[in-house]
Each structure stands twice: as C-alpha cells, then as structure tokens.
Amino acid sequence: MLDFDRQSQKESPVKHLIRRRTPAVVLAALCALTLTLTAAVPNGRPEDVGLSSERLSRINDVVQRYIGAKEIAGAVTVVARRGKIAHFEAQGMTDLESKTPMRKDGIFRIASMSKPVTGVAILMLVEEGKVRLTDPVSRFIPEFKDMKVAVVKSGPEGTPAPSGRGAPPPEITLVPASRPITIRDLMTHTSGLGSGGAGARETNRVAPRDPAETLAAHIPKLGAAPLDFQPGAEWRYSGLEGIDTLGRIVEIASGLTFDQFLRQRIFEPLGMKDTTFVPTDDRKPRIATLYGRSPEGALTRQETPSWLATKTYFSGGGGLWSTPEDYTQFAQMLVNGGQLNGKRLLSPRTVELMGSNHVGDLFAASGPGRRGMGFGLTVEVVTDPIAASQRRSAGSFGWDGAFGTHFWVDPKEQVAGVLMIQRSVNTALNRDFENAIMQAIVD
C-alpha cells in the first residue's frame, strides 16, 4: 500500500510515486502498477454475465463429491464469461499430511497444458512471417532431413509379430518417410515423432532424455529417431518430443531462448506473474503437493518427476508451472480472439485457426471416447457435441495436463473454464465440471 500524506491524498498514485521516490523505484512501481491495472480478468456478478449464482454453486458440490470420495485432495475452479470472472473457488487441501487448505494462488504442475502456450508462441511467429505451418521442420533443424519410419517386421510367413505382456520387443525395419514432417504435423500430433509406437525403443536409444540438457542440445538428436508412422497418416499423441521440438523452433526463429520468449511475449503482456519453468524459492510454499493412487485407492504423496525437475530444459510439451488465475488470463485471451486488456498476441482469425479441426477423422478414430471430436493446433476441438456426449458447444477447444489440470474455452458462449487438481487426469471430473458450468448459463 502507498503511504499517502495529506497532500498526496489529492494526487494520483502515479504522480505521488514520481514526486516521492527515486527514479529506479518509480520505474519498478510503475511497472507493477501497470501490470495490476491492465493484466487481470476483472471479477463480475454471475447474473451480470448471464449465469445463475445458485446454479454456479453446483461446481462446489461437484468438487466436494470428489474430495469426499477421496478421488482428489483439493481443487481450484475458475469460470469466466463475457470477460469477467464469475466463479473462483478453492476447496479441499493443498497438502493432506499437514492439513494445509487449498489456496487460490496455489502453483500447479500444468504438464501438457503447456502445449497450447507453445502453440500460441508458434502462431505468433506464423503471423510475423517467420514460420509457416507448412514448413518442414528441417528448415530450422537440418538434422530432421531424410527421416526414417519404423515398421514392425512380420513373423514367419507374414504372421503378425508377437505382442502383449511378456512378448519380446518387436523387431523393426526402417523405411524412408514419404515426406518431411512439418510444423503443422508437430502441432497436431500427426508427425509420428516420439509417440510411443514402433520406433520408441530406438528413439530412447539415440535420443535419451536428459533433464540437464537444453533444447539446443537435445532436439537435434531427435532427427536420428525413427518416426512411428508415415507423416500425416495417424493421430498419435507425442507427449513431449513433438512439442518440445516446436519450442526449439521458437528459439531459432525468434533469437530468444524459449523461456525468454514465453516470458517476454506471452506471460508479461498477459500478467501471468507466476507462470514459469522454474519456480523461485519464494513461490515454493504455494506449490500444491502432488498425489497418486495406491493399489488400494488411497491418495499417496508423490515427488516431482525428474523430467520436470530441471532448470535448463524448457519443455513446451509439459514443463510449465502456473496458477489458476494466471492460466485464466491465457484462456480469456483466447476467448477474446487473441487479446486481453489492450495486449494483442494473435488476430481473431488465427485463434479461430488454432481451434479448428486440422486432422479430419484421425483424432476421432484414434481411441474410444473421441467421437465428435477433432484436433486443432495443440488443442482438442469439439466438432459435434451430440456425438461426443459433451456439454461444451461445437467449436469449444482446450486441453488437459497429466497431473489433473484442465482448461477449455467456448467462443460461442464466451466462456473460459479452468480446473486445477494435484493428481492424474480425471476425465469424469472434467466432464462434470464442464456440465456444471454449462447448466449455469441462463440467458
């Protein structure tokens, strides 16, 4: 708080700072004041944005059911509509052992919710003409030229190779890729790079992941890794390697390290003050404890995985830490068509491109529960809510994180929803959260 005297009470805070403080302090204070005034999505009454307060409280009931069933330790939920936060609640515990209550400013490992942030970074460079979606990855990383595809060898007389638990690793043969993999392939998980298929064992051999490395050191090694299928032939999730490669492309195209680009071009303009690859010591008390499930179903404390505990490898595929409020700024920017409080990151048409289905039926055919769904540029897209059995509108898009974080934006209803928990993805909770939001829309 500013300590105003009688004269300063008649002045604006900015004028008072300039009159009373040294230039260095003035500059720092002005930056902080500007961030406070322009960054945050404002609060609003639910009824003022077409939501029912009574119905919106059902979000709390949903979360409490999962806490009571010991499915989760706690959760933070945020709902924004028409540019205002109408719901922001913390429930349960951030740490069960110490009985520390969940806090709204808790810091979570957002894992794969890092991917849409990486997607926005690439699209910013696309708009600047530095990257094209159709560019081969080898334009930026020459080691990705002339890639090979792993094909599983057949058994005797053409019979399928042995598979299943206890079967030996399949033998593979390498064949030339039918075409180079592109930026779009990486963004849509249709590249075959590091997607856990036939080439996984060879990928681990030629490009083992080392948290002590940097993107510049590690990513070129992936050029020698075999793809799991011909580019564009399938949708298969590349949990880390594909999107991490995009992070390296951001570095090459922008001249900044990936963490610098995200901080300067995305986090600072949006006021995402706690989003980072490496939480500082003063933030660590706010980190939510990570939990898993024991064979008996109990919540058990887990340590941060080694691949995330790095200070040098900035993984766009899963390395970010963030808060519910910070990520709401990012989500609201997407709802707004690429801008937030006068800071424009993308044009509306580019956000529309991001949230469009780029893979035809490949995503819907890639696994159970994906009917009526498509995949955009680093985000899942609802193409047919009825076929998908979802309450989200057609055109809604978003993504999850492996440790239980979830977000989605609905451009039609001007809604952003953010859910953060501390254990592995709970699809049922995600769907219940979405339903609780949609049933609260009453206009």
| Same domain, residue pair 403 and 287 | yes
| Same domain, residue pair 352 and 381 | yes
CA neighbor of 436 nearest in space, from 46, 57, 76, 49:
57
Residue 303: CATH number of its domain: 3.40.710.10
- C-alpha span between 302 and 299 (Å, rounded): 9
372 contacts 364 by C-beta, under 8 angstroms: yes
Q: In the prediction, which pLDDT does 182 show?
A: 98
398 contacts 407 by C-beta, under 8 angstroms: yes
| Same domain, residue pair 314 and 421 | yes
Q: Which of 200, 224, 254 is the last residue of a domain?
A: 254
| Same domain, residue pair 58 and 127 | no
| Same domain, residue pair 162 and 136 | yes
Tens of pLDDT along 58-79?
Answer: 999 999 999 999 999 999 999 9
Q: What is the DSSP string of 1-42?
A: -----TTGGGS-HHHHHHHHS-HHHHHHHHHHHHHHHHSSPP
Q: What is the gyration radius of the CA atoms in the chain, in angstroms? A: 23
| Same domain, residue pair 249 and 268 | no
Domain contains 143 = yes
Q: In the prediction, which pLDDT does 160 show?
A: 55
Q: Which domain holds residue 216?
A: 123-254
Q: In the prediction, which pLDDT does 163 show?
A: 56
Q: In the prediction, which pLDDT does 162 show?
A: 56
Q: Is the pTM of this model over 0.95?
A: no
- Six token digits for residue 257: 């390290």
Q: What is the distance in angstroms between the CA of the first residue and the CA of the last residue of the chain?
A: 40
Q: Which of 234, 254, 274 is the last residue of a domain?
A: 254
pLDDT less than 50: residues of the chain: 1-39
In sequence order, what are the residues at sequence separation of 6 or more whose Cβ sits closer than 8 angstroms to the Cβ of residue 387? 371, 372
Q: In the prediction, which pLDDT does 99 show?
A: 97
- Region of 371 on the Ramachandran plot (φ > 0 left; ψ -120 to 50 alpha; else beta): beta
Q: In the prediction, which pLDDT does 306 show?
A: 86
Q: In the prediction, which pLDDT does 170 show?
A: 79
Q: Which of 213, 233, 254 is the last residue of a domain?
A: 254
